[in-house]
Amino acid sequence: MAGLTNRRLADEFRSRYPKVNLQLDPVITESDRLICAGSSAAYLIQTIHIIKHFSGPTIASQCAKTMLIDTNRTKQLPYLPFLAEKEHSDSLVHKAQQQLQKNMRTELRISMLADSLGASERTLIRRFRLALEQSPLNYLQGLRIDVAQNLLRESDQSIEVIATSVGYTDTSSFCRLFKQKIGHSPGAYRSKFR
């Protein structure tokens, strides 16, 4: 069974309902006869989905237009902030997070990060995955993309300048990663969320 919740409640949800396949990216999930929405605004899309199921696509489309609901929104990622601080008690990972946040504009070498913390690369990666359910590289990418999202919304800087300011020397690599993580190109994201 698939389910959704607010991203900030994900850990609590997983501990309370371990048999539910928690998904954080889709706006709604449908499993058997259960339809879940992930955020308060997603319930409007869920409503249109139910109307479509019982009354057909024409009436659902008319309702969506009347209620000004964007039914093309299928993913939550463009709307979610990167949660850099996930609660855990691993001091090594906390120190690594602090270093990554402080040095996010520099090239990451996990071996150098591990050495600076007095750990092996393998140990750091393993403990990072246990504490945060992601690798140090994915964590760093999330930090960078989060800052880039803010800059795209709040500044007039070019995409090239933003890419450089968050640690990417190759703008096309930054754009590919941004689209992969957020679901929109940086330019489309800026147009939609500004």
- Strands 21-22, 2-3: pairing is parallel
Q: What is the pLDDT of residue 82?
A: 58
Q: What is the pLDDT of residue 77?
A: 59
Q: What is the pLDDT of residue 74?
A: 67
- Which H helix or E strand runs over 191? helix 186-193
The encoded tokens of residue 98 equal 């602090």
Q: What is the pLDDT of residue 185?
A: 94
Q: What is the pLDDT of residue 80?
A: 57
Q: What is the C-alpha separation between 177 and 133, in angstroms, rounded?
A: 19
Domains and CATH numbers, the chain: 2-77 (3.40.50.880), 81-194 (1.10.10.60)
Q: What is the pLDDT of residue 165?
A: 94
Parts of the chain with a pLDDT under 70: 73-86
Q: What is the pLDDT of residue 117?
A: 96
Model pLDDT for residues 113-144, shown as the tens digit of each residue:
999 999 999 999 999 999 988 999 999 999 99
Distance of alpha carbon 165 from the chain centroid:
20
Q: What is the pLDDT of residue 22?
A: 82
Q: What is the C-alpha separation between 74 and 28, in angstroms, rounded?
A: 7
